[in-house]
Amino acid sequence: MKRIMLKGKLHRARVTETQIDYEGSLALDEELMLAADLRAFEKVDVYNLSNGERFSTYLIKAERGSGTVGVYGAAARKAQTGDRLIVASYVVLDEEEIDFFMPKILILDGDNKIIEVK
């Protein structure tokens, strides 16, 4: 049997910009992507803590160290600058892999800097 398990999570990421007329979807500071084991073009689920919206999209890299969390294209209708998001990616694991796998969970401050890794 296989199960879908949490792989990486950014908790309380603050939206720094939105653009509807932009090709792309969710831009993240490359430093955050690396720390949470996220890759460009990887599918993620996004949960907006500020308004309750939920959507799936893919990632694009933003400048490393910039703190950017940009919501673009159609997804920009689901968030505003300043909103707090949870960004989650998942992995499919076999039963025997589950006990040995640990997701990378990052807690962020208001400037999208990592304040805790779980």
Tens-digit pLDDT profile for residues 23-68: 779 999 999 999 999 999 999 999 999 999 999 999 999 999 999 9
- Annotated catalytic residue, options 22, 47, 58, 90: 58
Residues 34, 22: Cα–Cα separation, whole Å: 24
Is 56 one of the catalytic residues?
A: no
- Annotated catalytic residue, options 25, 50, 89, 90: 25
Is 72 one of the catalytic residues?
A: no
Q: Which residue has the tokens 């400037």?
A: 111
Answer whether 0.75 is exceeded by the pTM.
yes
Burial of 107 (0-12, 13-18, 19+ CB in 10 A): middle
Q: CA 59 → CA 2, 27, 62, 99, distances in Å?
A: 25, 6, 9, 28
Q: Which CATH architecture has domain 2-95?
A: Beta Barrel (2.40)
Domain ranges of the chain: 2-95
